[in-house]
Amino acid sequence: MQKLKIRGGKPLRGSVRISGAKNAALPILCAAILSAETLTLKNVPQLNDIGTMLKLLKQMGISAHREGETVVLNAANLTNPAAPYELVKTMRASILALGPLLARFGKARVSLPGGCAIGARPVDLHIKGLEAMGATITIEGGDIHASVFKLKGAHIFMDIVTVTGTENLMMAATLADGTTVLENAAREPEVVDLAECLIKMGANISGHGSDVITVKGVASLHKAEYAVMPDRIETGTFLAAVTAIGGDVRVTNAAPRTLDVVIEKLREAGAVITSTDDEIHIVSNTRPKAVNLRTAPYPAFPTDMQAQFIALNTIAEGTAIVTETIFENRFMHVQELVRLGAKIDIEGNTAIVKGAQKLTGATVMATDLRASACLVIAGLVAEGETIIDRIYHLDRGYDHIEKKLVALGVDIERID
């Protein structure tokens, strides 16, 4: 199993180019299912999760060609509307195939995702929404079996804000008979990016970016070319790293407008941040100050940045209160940080982080994607050598991370 070896202590200097957003690319790849014509995607990140999604689409009979950051998909010959357990268990986002398959073929079998390291993560709202649109859904042998003659527009209220739930139902509604209204919809920028791509394919969608999305069904979607938005979590991770260890970094190909709350919190921690439309310049040369935060759906603080901010708070001046409201078990990184000398107590869904003067390198284990990013930040800050085990989690969501860090002057190496 591969590991990362980091020798911390050096400030980050230089520039880093942000890749396309994983969480926008995954639903957008599934949007290809909705059309018999070609979908050409640019700025697709080179990640294991993207590889898994392409594998999933190919085994359905979709042609998918990838060259660098461009992916060309054609679902004219899709014959197998199914997502098997072997793929779903490695990537929950496979559930995003369900809505599009049902909309275009009236039939789908998608393995039911189990719980995962950060929480139970049910998909009941995806299922209820599709049932409201007329689908018959049963769970047999661990699989979701869904069928419908033709989906019908419906008024759907989701009692929890769900990102992939909103995306699944929005995709399904594009080809339904009549109008669908999604209430309490997710407002995440990745939902907006998917909507923009679907509109380029001929869908009739309005209200995306607000909590009420209206989709008027059309007969078919056509060919399109679309560039995936920059990854706001990758961007936030680099910004948090600079704030923690210090330095002067230019972050290019970014979308600062999607990171308002994160940038605000980093300024509160002491970083000096300026930005243009697609670039962020960050300078940090003092010990960060502790920042409190509470995760919640967009535009509030993203749960996918919580772990990285805990890492930042471990060496900050003062004590931070970090509350996680989205997932019930998203503090697995805390015990690993404690191995590096961090002082953190957990009370229910709150972590109380007392800033230490220093962390000391040790061997730690990545438990999920964003926990891995948090351990990388801690490794950059720690004195001596930190070894991070199980970095396959990191490769799921961070495009060429060690190459990007080496270019910023970090002493980091991948070892077997």
Which residue intervals of 277-365 are DSSP H helices?
Answer: 306-314, 332-339
Angle of helix 124-132 relative to helix 163-174, nearest 10 degrees? 20
Structure tokens at 228: 């995936």
At position 242, the amino acid (one-letter code) is V
Site string for ligand UD1, 159-198 (x = CB under 6 A): -x-xxxx------------------------x--------
DSSP 255: -
With contact defined as beta carbons under 8 Å apart, do 215 and 205 qualify? yes
User: Least distance (Å) from ligand UD1 to the CB of residue 203?
Assistant: 19
Q: Which of 73, 93, 205, 273 binds ligand UD1 (CB under 6 A)?
A: 93
Catalytic residue of the set 30, 116, 197, 374: 116
- What does the alpha-carbon distance between residue 399 and residue 392 come to, in Å, rounded to a whole number? 12
Q: Which of 303, 306, 367, 386 binds ligand UD1 (CB under 6 A)?
A: 303
Give yes or no: 30 in active site: no
- What does the alpha-carbon distance between residue 300 and residue 58 come to, in Å, rounded to a whole number? 36
- What does the alpha-carbon distance between residue 336 and residue 55 come to, in Å, rounded to a whole number? 33
Site string for ligand UD1, 317-346 (x = CB under 6 A): ---------xx-------------------
Site string for ligand UD1, 9-48 (x = CB under 6 A): --------------x--x----------------------
Query: Toward ligand UD1, which CB reaches closer, 120 or 139?
Result: 120
User: Least distance (Å) from ligand UD1 to the CB of residue 333?
Assistant: 14
Buried b / exposed e along 137-168 (16+ C-beta atoms within 10 A): beeeeebbebebeebbbbebebeebbbbbbbb
User: Least distance (Å) from ligand UD1 to the CB of residue 350?
Assistant: 16
Site string for ligand UD1, 97-136 (x = CB under 6 A): ----------------------xxxxxxxx----------
Between strands 272-275 and 293-294, the pairing is: unpaired
Query: Toward ligand UD1, which CB reaches closer, 93 or 381?
Result: 93
For residue 403, which phi and psi values (nearest 5 degrees)? -60, -45
Which residues in this chain contact ligand UD1 in the complex, by CB under 6 A?
23, 26, 93, 119-126, 160, 162-165, 190, 303-304, 326-327
Q: What residues act catalytically? A: 116
